Amino acid sequence: MHKHHLRFRQVHLDFHTSPAIPGIGTAFDKKRWQETLKKGHVDSITCFSKCHHGWSYHPTAVGKVHPHLSFDLLRAQFEACKEISVNVPVYLSAGVDNVASFEHPEWREVGFDGRYCGWAQDITAAGFHTMCFNTPYLEYLCAQIREAARLFPACDGIFLDIISQSQCCCKWCLEVMEKNGWDASLEADRKKCAESAMERYYSETTAAAKCDNPDMPVFHNSGHVSRGKTGVLKKYFSHLELESLPTGGWGYDHYPISAKYAQNTGLDFLGMTGKFHTTWGEFGGYKHPNALRYECAAMLAYGSKCSVGDQLHPCGALDESTYGLIGAAYAGVERKEPWCGDVTSIADVALLSSTAVNASEHRDLDSDTGAGRVLLEAHFLFDVIDQDMDFSPYKMLVLPDEVKVGPALKTKLDTYLAKGGKLFLTGSSGVSADGCGFLWDMGATCCGISPVCLDYILPCATLQADFVHSPMVMYAASYRVRVADGESLGQVYDSYFNRTFKHFCSHQHTPYRMEPSGFDCGVRKGNILYLAHPVFTLYKGTGAVALREYIAKALRCLLGDSETAQVALPSTGRITLMKQPAGKRYVLHLLHANTIQRGGAAELSGGNNSVGRTSGFEVIEDLLPIHNIAVSLRLPDVTRARLVPEGTVLPLTEEDGRIKFIVPTLLCHQMIELT
């Protein structure tokens, strides 16, 4: 199958529309639709065949047309877009369907406790109903997919949404478990049943989408691209769409880490944010234009195409304010496209995802999130990988806090070390399964987990934060490490006692003893460096700058002077370096925005409001310039640097094998072409 190439400026147009709303699509006007898309600089828009409510928006012999739609709305949208060369992927809700659930409640997912699963568990709860892929619902869904693919053979892909399967115990799942000898009372066996249902779903829906065209693009959306499942991605996905709405629960740090993983799958991918102030389903909510400008720039910087989520009003008319907002961002994207297509990441470091290796069911383990934040804020060039990807391109691998190193991974890491690679290990990563030894010669002995929690560390002078030279609190237990022939990275100071009702001190925790404990906070021997605390989880939880500086200095201690890029940016800045073979150039991306916590705790539920209890939102409003940014790069055969798309040539100097230049101003996003 040929590789599917995405367009740069896409819109994902939600249209989940209640049967109680009249006049569906009555305000659709082809000319206005086209003019609005042009205003938004949009070159692809995903339109609906079937929504979460279960209604179809075109004539159907399988499902049911929305009761207040009197014409073929999808056809009208499709033809209007194609007339102006705008692509149209077709959307079908797959995992939820209230039309089907009311007609066939037996097709709904049922939990081990006998209750319905999903978004709306109670009979009278407002919300969507999750469907089980082991039931006849899957055949019904596949018939709808085939119908859409045949009605719109010139569409630009099939987008299938809400792809998940719980530990369902409906009658069909119970039959599957009985047939396979699985015990429904055991969670492990219920998970096996769910996994088999997912495999059946992927196989049959992908075949349905490709019923007449083997090259029909297909994407299955689960709200997050899980790591460690590249086999599934390559078998059933034509491309990836990384749903990541910063204000919708994902946050601004989710997308970069997700993108850095997607880069290594071999699939083209896009980032999907939203125009909403909060998240999906919000009518009349708008984020600041500068936020969308930054989010789209970040998508380009991390090697992806762009998609902005919108929600169409039931009347069928696109919102003018929304496409003014999108257009302000997409005009910039359009100018930058020549430097952003068909690129590959240049990275010194690979973050070996604990989420992937441990096959975690969570979107991200705290160790991955914390490690990603440190690497982003300290401006390392890095990728995110799983255990099946190639380790050889990287100078150093980071195994954060809790990576379970089994025999196969151990062998692969041994090969990597033998070829000169470097391992950065923290917490239980690199510790034997019994917790009483190391998997490699670390130049130290491991004596298990400390009974003292919490403790303090005084790193060696080269690893201390610039502003802290006293023992620093660590809010989690460490492994007890005694250095033998390795290099100690500093001392651990125990607290006087653990906090209990019998003995405690002050408001939080007990202070440290004046004498060191005799254990070390870390050790380095050769190409392996180990920190005894789960430092990345701690950084995710506390965000302490002193802790980040300690970790970053340890990372650079192991990486040495081979670092490809050194950039003088604040911690809120971001850097990536891409190679574009077709253009015979590298492209350095510099990003900067200050995110601010706005809003706070308030109860916003009741009536028509389902926001519920809020805790505030991370937003971007003001974009402030940074001036005279020093850049140093170790790149072969680079003799010219210029700002693009502006075309301004930057003076270069060379020293010790590194090229150096100054970027005069960074406002949100600046690309530097290197040839």
CB 674 within 8 A of CB 663: no
CB 145 within 8 A of CB 208: yes
Supply the CATH number for residue 21's domain.
3.20.20.80
Return the closest-CA partner of residue 302 out of 635, 634, 575, 618: 575
Residues 203 and 352 in one domain: no
Strands 585-592 and 472-474: unpaired
Q: Is residue 221 part of a domain?
A: no
Say which residues have a Cβ less than 8 Å from residue 385's Cβ, sequence separation at least 6.
261, 264, 350, 351, 352, 353, 356, 391
Residue that is written with structure tokens 């060039």 in the block: 381
- Distant-in-sequence, close-in-space partners of 653: CB < 8 Å, separation ≥ 6: 659, 660, 661
Say if residue 331 is exposed, middle or buried (CB neighbours under 10 Å; 0-12, 13-18, 19+).
middle
Q: CA-CA distance, 549 to 556, in Å (whole number)?
A: 10
The three-class DSSP label of residue 520 is strand
Asked if residue 4 belongs to a domain, the reply is: yes
Both 518 and 545 in a single domain?
A: yes
Q: Choose one of 516, 547, 563: the last residue of a domain.
A: 563
Pull the structure tokens for residue 391.
């380790």
Alpha-carbon distance of 658 to 636, in angstroms, equals 9
Would you tell me how many other CB atoms lie within 10 Å of the CB of residue 120? Answer: 18
DSSP string covering 150-176: HH-TT-S-EEEE--------SHHHHHH
- pLDDT at residue 497 in the model: 84
Q: Which of 216, 241, 257 is the last residue in one of the domains?
A: 216
> What was the pLDDT predicted at 552?
98
Q: Tens of pLDDT along 624-675?
A: 999 999 999 999 889 999 999 999 999 999 998 999 999 999 999 999 999 9
Domain of residue 633, CATH code? 2.60.40
CB neighbour list of residue 614: distance below 8 Å, 6 or more residues apart = 599, 600, 601, 602, 603, 604
Q: CA-to-CA distance for 515 and 512, rounded, in angstroms?
A: 8
* Low-confidence spans in the chain with pLDDT less than 70: 1-2, 605-614
Q: Which residues contact 291 (CB under 8 A, 6 or more apart)?
A: 246, 593, 619, 620, 621
188: CB partners within 8 A, 6+ apart: none
Which pair of structure tokens corresponds to residue 176? 């599957």
> Is 223 a domain residue?
no
List the one residue out of 101, 111, 113, 108 whose CA is nearest residue 133: 108
**Contact partners, residue 67, CB within 8 Å, separation at least 6:** 19, 55
> How many structural domains are present in the chain?
4
| 23 and 85 inside one domain | yes
Q: Which residue in 122, 147, 118, 148 sits closest to 133, CA to CA?
A: 118
Specify which residues 612 forms β-bridges with.
604
Nearest to 245 by CA among 12, 576, 9: 12
Q: Taking the mean position of all CA atoms in its chain, how far away is CA 148?
A: 30
Per DSSP, 486 falls in state: S
Instruction: Judge if 388 and 439 occupy the same domain.
Output: yes
244 and 334 co-located in one domain: yes
Q: Report the alpha-carbon distance of residue 601 to residue 616 in Å, rounded.
A: 6
Reduced to 3 states (helix: H, G, I; strand: E, B; else coil), residue 373 is helix
CB atoms within 10 A of CB 236: 18
Q: Which of 529, 237, 264, 251 is nearest to 398 (CA)?
A: 529
* Same-domain status, 418 and 557: yes
Q: Are residues 34 and 2 in the same domain?
A: yes
Can you read off the two tokens belonging to residue 418?
A: 């033998």
DSSP run (H or E) holding 85: none
Do 323 and 398 sit in the same domain of this protein? Answer: no
Residue 308 lies in a domain: yes
Q: Regarding beta strands 349-352 and 396-399, do their DSSP bridges make them parallel or antiparallel, or are they unpaired?
A: parallel
> Is residue 222 situated within a structural domain?
no
Neighbours of 501 (CB within 10 A): 5
Residues 492 and 587 in one domain: no
pTM of whole model > 0.75? yes
* Residues 473, 363 share a domain: yes
The per-residue pLDDT for 1 is 45
Has residue 305 been placed in a domain? yes
Q: Which domain holds residue 626?
A: 567-674
- Helices within 532-624 (DSSP H only): 535-542, 545-559
Angle between helices 320-336 and 289-301 (to 10 degrees): 30
Q: In Å, how far are 72, 98, 256 from 76, measured between CA atoms?
A: 6, 25, 37
Pairing of strands 396-399, 422-426: parallel
With a CB cutoff of 8 Å and minimum separation 6, the contacts of 658 are: 632, 633, 634
- pLDDT tens digits for 62-113? 999 999 999 999 999 999 999 999 999 999 999 999 999 999 999 999 999 9
- The token duo for 103 is 């007609």
Asked whether residue 181 falls in the same domain as residue 301, the answer is no
Whole-angstrom Cα distance, residue 477 to residue 427? 9
Task: Say yes or no: 533 and 626 in one domain.
Answer: no
Does residue 157 form part of some domain? no
Q: Are 138 and 168 in contact (CB under 8 A)?
A: no
CA distances from 257 to 299, 372, 424, 537 (A): 11, 6, 18, 15
Distance CA 520, CA 94 (A): 53
Inside any domain, residue 125: yes
Please enumerate in sequence order all residues whose Cβ is within 8 A of that of 471, keeping only pairs 6 or more positions apart, or say none: 456, 457, 458, 493, 512
Q: Of the candidates 521, 539, 563, which is a domain's last residue?
A: 563
Q: How many helices (H) and strands (E) does the chain have?
A: 15, 34
385: β partners: 352
DSSP classification of residue 246 = G
CATH number of the structural domain spanning residue 478? 3.40.50.880
Q: What distance, in Å, lies between the first and last C-alpha atoms of the chain?
A: 33
Contacts of 88 (CB under 8 A, 6+ apart): 44, 45, 46, 47, 77, 78, 81, 82, 152, 155, 156
Exposure on the CB side of residue 91, measured as CA atoms within 13 A = 25
- Cβ–Cβ under 8 Å, residues 569 and 592: yes
pLDDT for residue 509:
87
Dihedral pair phi/psi, residue 383, rounded to 5°: -115, 165
